Amino acid sequence: MKAVRFHQYGGPEVLQYEDVPDARPRRDQVLVRVKACALNHLDLWLRKGVGQAPLPHINGSDVAGEVAETGEYVTDLKPGQRVLLAPMVFCNHCVHCTSGQQNFCRQYSVLGNRVDGGNCELLATARVNVVPIPDNLSFEQAAALPLVLVTAWHMLVARARIQPGQTVLVIGAGSGVGSIAIQIGKLFNCRVITTAGDERKLEKGRELGADFTINHYQQKISEEVRKITGKEGVDIVFEHVGKAVWEECMKSLKPGGTLVTCGATTGPEVGVDIRFLFSRQYSLLGSYMGTMADFHEGLRHVFSGRLRPVVDKSFPLSEARAAHERLEKSAMFGKVVLIP
């Protein structure tokens, strides 16, 4: 089969489109013919050597395709069935997994991180990760969902306990996780403020339902939030950027507000004035991926049409370098997708 691998860490030029042995399923696995695989910032970090992925390595966390073959222990799926894959890897037998807290499993990881992912034509995976999809959802749309959906749902619903009528600040409307977070906020009948660096992305954020937008290159986020909320601040800040926006996010919270974060794309080192933390009774929450329950809850709203995937642009798998460059330049709105 064809796959995109890297044999050394570096820039997009290390990505090689090449022949590799066909994947084969174990008796308890499903072999999926990959029809689409979306990119994430994780793909860029792994390619650069952050996390030291085993070499040679195949990236790819967000996979949609067709069942090609099933192991003999799998009896409820048929070849040709349209599916997407939950992007999590976990043992499925420890106390955390069996109690529905997969993201506390010691073996918990992301598909395409410690194990090869979906930048290929065939992928063998555990049955628990395979979810049938409706015919009205294209493979590109399905691939745009898994990682950002489970992450955003866990952040807002499981961790921040979003409630109707709240005001939510979503950082980065143009990111995959930001585009879903805007929609989850509106699903819960919240007032949503979002940020982006250019008018095109801000307009698309409004199309997704954002009530107010802030150009974070031309406007100070906290000052605009105060204007919009009548100096009150927001109930929830949805943050996944890190150092570049942290101080403005903290200043945007109302007393008793919650900041939930899942990433540090601009740097992990941030400062917190503990006096403000306790006197204003803020809640600072970390969030890592999500659980299978989060994933299935979110998918129900996708399948019913209440949440929609946002595809930026699709590239043939052979043009993975160009896809990485687009993501690296933050030129996208939504998800960049590779098509084997």
| Secondary structure string (H, E, C) spanning the chain | CEEEEECCCCCHHHEEEEECCCCCCCCCEEEEEEEEEECCHHHHHHHHCCCCCCCCEECCCEEEEEEEEECCCCCCCCCCCEEEECCEECCCCCHHHHCCCHHHCCCCEECCCCCCCCCECEEEEEHHHEEECCCCCCHHHHHCCHHHHHHHHHHHHHHCCCCCCCEEEECCCCCHHHHHHHHHHHHCCCEEEEEECCHHHHHHHHHCCCCEEEECCCCCHHHHHHHHCCCCCEEEEEECCCHHHHHHHHHHEEEEEEEEECCCCCCCCCCCCHHHHHHCCCEEEECCCCCHHHHHHHHHHHHCCCCCCCEEEEEEHHHHHHHHHHHHCCCCCCEEEEEC
pLDDT tens per residue, range 288-316: 999 999 999 999 999 999 999 999 999 99
Which structure tokens are listed for 323? Answer: 């896809």
pLDDT band at 51 (very low <50, low <70, confident <90, very high): confident
Strand pairing partners for 64? 36, 84
145 residue type, one letter = L
* CA distances (Å), origin 275, targets 41, 256, 257, 278: 34, 14, 15, 6
Residue 82: per-residue pLDDT: 98
Looking at residues 179-204, what average pLDDT do you find? 96
241 residue type, one letter = V
pLDDT tens per residue, range 196-233: 999 999 999 999 999 999 999 999 999 999 999 999 99
What is the rounded CA–CA span in Å between residue 222 and residue 245? 10
Task: Please determine, for residue 266, whether its predicted confidence score (pLDDT) is greater than 90.
Answer: no
Looking at residues 259-269, what average pLDDT do you find? 91
327 within 8 A of 41, measured Cβ to Cβ = yes
What is the rounded CA–CA span in Å between residue 55 and residue 37? 20
Which structure tokens are listed for 196? Answer: 């982006």
Residue from 265, 235, 266 nearest 252 by CA: 235
Question: Is beta strand 122-126 parallel, antiparallel or unpaired with respect to 130-132?
Answer: unpaired
pLDDT band at 281 (very low <50, low <70, confident <90, very high): very high
Which structure tokens are listed for 197? Answer: 């660096």
pLDDT band at 179 (very low <50, low <70, confident <90, very high): very high
Task: Please determine, for residue 151, whether its predicted confidence score (pLDDT) is greater than 90.
Answer: yes
Structural domains in the chain, sorted by start: 2-145+309-339 (3.90.180.10), 149-286 (3.40.50.720)
pLDDT tens per residue, range 77-107: 999 999 999 999 999 999 999 999 999 999 9
Residue 163: per-residue pLDDT: 98
306 within 8 A of 298, measured Cβ to Cβ = no
Computed over every residue of the chain, the mean pLDDT equals 96
Task: Please determine, for residue 52, whether its predicted confidence score (pLDDT) is greater than 90.
Answer: no
| Residue 312 exposure: Cα atoms within 13 Å on the Cβ side | 26
Looking at residues 182-194, what average pLDDT do you find? 98
Looking at residues 276-284, what average pLDDT do you find? 96
Task: Please determine, for residue 267, whether its predicted confidence score (pLDDT) is greater than 90.
Answer: no
- This model's pTM is above 0.85: yes
Q: Which residues contact 279 (CB under 8 A, 6 or more apart)?
A: none
151 within 8 A of 38, measured Cβ to Cβ = no
